[in-house]
C-alpha cells in the first residue's frame, strides 16, 4: 500500500466545496471518481482543508492510499486523464505511513482578491470580489497587522464551526494593490470556519473608513462576531499553499 500525497488545484465555482456530501457535486467526489476509474477499486481520500462552496485552490493537499505499479511521477498525468478541466493534480510524492495532511500541516497561506474599480471585468468574475467603492489600501494594510499573533478569533468565526478551540496564530497578513487588484495574503497555523473571509470583510470596512486600524485588537478581544465585518464572498478566496515540517 502506497501513501501518496497529491497537490491539487481547482476552480471551485461549480462545486459545493471540497468535502463529499449527498446530493451535491464536490471536489473530493470528482477526485474519488477519477481514482476509482484509474485504479479499479474503492478509494478514500483525506484532504488538508475543507474549502467551502466557490473557494479555489492552487495547493490543496490530499492523501491517497492505494496499491499501484504506476511510477509516482506519472500518477498526476494518469489521474488528470479522468478529471474535469477545472480540477488538476499538480504533483504527487510518496509520504510516510503516519503522514496526515490536516494534522501535520505547519501553516497555510490563503489569498483573497478584490477588484477595486468603477466597473467589473468579466475575466476576474470567477476569481475576485468586485468592489466599486474606493478603498484605502494603506489603512487596510495597517489594520491587517493587528491580526498577527496568537489570539482567540471567536469574533472571526461563523456559527456552525466544529472546532475544539477558537485560538489560532497568524504569522503574516499583508494587503497590496497592483492595477486595481487588491490582494490580501494571510498565513497562519490554521483557520476557523469562514475566518479569512470575515477578516477580509473587516478590512474592507477599514478601507471604507467605517472602522479604524486600531479597532482590530478591540474586536478580537470582544469575542463578538457582530463586532467584525461581514463575510466576504467565497469567489475571491484561494488556498495557495500548505507547508509541512
Q: What is the pLDDT of residues 176-216, one digit of tens each?
A: 999 999 999 999 999 999 999 999 999 999 999 999 999 99
Q: Active site includes 52?
A: yes
C-alpha cell of 19? 468535502
CATH of domain 2-94: 3.30.70.580
Q: What is the pLDDT of residues 38-89, one digit of tens each?
A: 999 999 999 999 999 999 999 999 999 999 999 999 999 999 999 999 999 9
Tell me the C-alpha distance between 105 and 102, whole Å.
6
CA 61 to chain centre: 11
Tell me the C-alpha distance between 142 and 165, whole Å.
27
pLDDT band, residue 227 (cuts 50/70/90): very high
Catalytic residue among 11, 52, 136, 174: 52
Q: State which H helix or E strand residue 169 sits in.
A: strand 167-178
Other Cβ atoms within 10 Å of 195 Cβ, number: 26
161 pLDDT exceeds 80?
A: no
Binding residues for substrate: 110
Please, are residues 23 and 29 in contact by the beta-carbon 8 Å criterion? no
Phi-psi region of 188 (alpha: psi -120 to 50; beta: other; left: phi over 0): beta
pLDDT attached to residue 186: 98
Binding residues: 110
Fold match between 2-94 and 105-244? yes
**Domain extents in the chain:** 2-94, 105-244
Tell me the C-alpha distance between 239 and 108, whole Å.
8
Residue among 193, 207, 180, 205 nearest 237 (CA): 193
Helix, strand, coil percent content, the chain, rounded in steps of 5:
30, 30, 40
162 pLDDT exceeds 80?
A: no
CA 225 to chain centre: 20
Residue among 131, 235, 112, 241 nearest 188 (CA): 241
CATH assignment of 105-244, among 2.30.42.10, 3.40.50.1820, 3.10.180.10, 3.30.70.660:
3.30.70.660
pLDDT band, residue 245 (cuts 50/70/90): confident
Residue among 52, 57, 65 nearest 92 (CA): 65
Tell me the C-alpha distance between 165 and 202, whole Å.
22
Q: State which H helix or E strand residue 221 sits in.
A: helix 215-222
Amino acid at each position: 500500500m502506497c501513501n501518496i500525497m497529491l497537490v491539487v488545484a481547482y476552480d471551485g465555482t461549480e462545486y459545493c466545496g471540497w468535502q463529499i456530501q449527498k446530493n451535491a457535486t464536490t471536489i473530493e467526489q470528482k477526485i474519488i471518481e477519477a481514482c476509482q476509474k484509474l485504479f479499479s477499486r474503492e478509494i478514500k481520500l483525506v484532504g488538508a482543508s475543507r474549502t467551502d462552496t466557490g473557494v479555489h485552490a492552487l495547493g490543496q493537499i490530499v492523501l491517497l492510499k492505494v496499491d499501484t505499479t504506476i511510477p509516482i511521477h506519472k500518477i498526476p498525468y494518469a489521474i488528470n486523464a479522468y478529471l474535469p478541466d477545472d480540477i488538476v493534480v499538480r504533483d504527487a510524492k510518496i509520504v510516510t505511513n503516519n503522514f496526515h495532511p490536516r494534522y501535520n500541516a505547519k501553516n497555510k497561506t490563503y489569498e483573497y482578491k478584490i477588484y477595486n474599480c468603477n466597473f467589473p471585468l468579466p475575466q476576474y468574475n470567477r476569481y475576485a470580489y468586485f468592489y466599486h467603492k474606493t478603498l484605502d489600501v494603506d489603512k487596510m494594510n495597517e489594520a491587517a497587522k493587528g491580526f498577527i499573533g496568537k489570539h482567540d478569533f471567536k469574533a472571526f468565526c461563523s456559527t456552525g464551526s466544529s472546532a475544539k478551540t477558537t485560538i489560532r496564530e497568524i504569522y503574516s497578513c499583508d494587503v497590496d494593490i497592483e492595477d486595481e487588484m487588491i490582494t490580501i495574503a494571510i498565513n497562519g497555523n490554521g483557520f476557523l470556519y469562514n475566518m479569512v473571509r470575515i477578516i477580509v470583510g473587516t478590512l474592507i470596512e477599514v478601507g471604507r473608513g467605517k472602522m479604524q486600524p486600531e479597532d482590530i485588537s478591540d474586536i478580537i478581544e470582544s469575542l463578538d462576531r457582530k463586532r467584525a465585518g461581514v463575510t466576504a464572498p467565497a469567489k475571491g478566496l484561494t488556498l495557495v499553499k500548505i507547508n509541512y515540517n
